Chains A and B, each alone.
Chain A
Amino acid sequence: EAQVTQNPRYLITVTGKKLTVTCSQNMNHEYMSWYRQDPGLGLRQIYYSMNVEVTDKGDVPEGYKVSRKEKRNFPLILESPSPNQTSLYFCASSTRQGPEAFFGQGTRLTVV
């Protein structure tokens, strides 16, 4: 089954404790991205990657890091999480030509 898998689905952590949210896709897609979803703000892109070892900032990259060492994986790293990063996070993938983006199930992160 074609899918984008995120882990964990739910995470509660404390301010400053480094965490990683994993994302994996099995569709051999070149393009992957991370979004955060907040009430009234819609989906805002954090980072995207056009292929292995190629990443770039989206609209709200502050406080986040990503890496793309393998085509199928695109982890999101919060090195020092803060409460304003409490949000619902989605990973998405698509072919280079697009246009359809396939989304994961989401990770609900709470930073206290």
Chain B
Amino acid sequence: QQQVKQSPQSLIVQKGGIPIINCAYENTAFDYFPWYQQFPGKGPALLIAIRPDVSEKKEGRFTISFNKSAKQFSLHIMDSQPGDSATYFCAAQGGTALIFGKGTTLSVSS
């Protein structure tokens, strides 16, 4: 069964900290690994994404690290801010399948 396992379920950090969210997948046919950010009352929106031929991708304060052999990928948020408080979903996509992790609720305290 296709699954994407995401941890932790919730995370609390202080402003300036570096929260890390981890995901693991099983299906090697996945060829695209996006992260979505969701604020309360809004739909998820694409934050950053990576393909499996790249080990790291950075966009601003957000970095994805990808370990193809371990079938794991993670999101790092540098210098986290209260405005980063949201729910983050990792996902894996292949063909018509877009499978989401269960989400991580991040709270950044000031």
A interface list, Cβ under 8 A from B: 4, 31, 33, 35, 40-45, 48, 50, 56, 90, 92, 98-101, 103-106
Contact = CB atoms under 8 A, between A and B. Distances in A.
A98 B32 contact: yes
A40 B6 CA distance: 11
Nearest to B97: A45
B94 to A, nearest CB: 10
4 smallest CB-CB distances across A and B, nearest first, come from A103-B43, A42-B102, A43-B100, A99-B32
15 contacts: A42-B6, A43-B100, A45-B98, A48-B96, A50-B96, A56-B96, A98-B32, A98-B93, A99-B32, A100-B49, A101-B36, A103-B43, A103-B45, A105-B43, A106-B41
A50 to B, nearest CB: 6
A35 B44 CA distance: 11
A101 B98 contact: yes
A42 B46 contact: no
Interface string B1-36: 000001001000000000000000000000010101
Contact of B34 (A33, A40, A99): A99
A37 to B, nearest CB: 8
Contact of B46 (A40, A101, A106): A101
A98 B93 CA distance: 9
Given A40-B9, A42-B103, A99-B34, A90 B96 contact: no
A104 B43 contact: yes
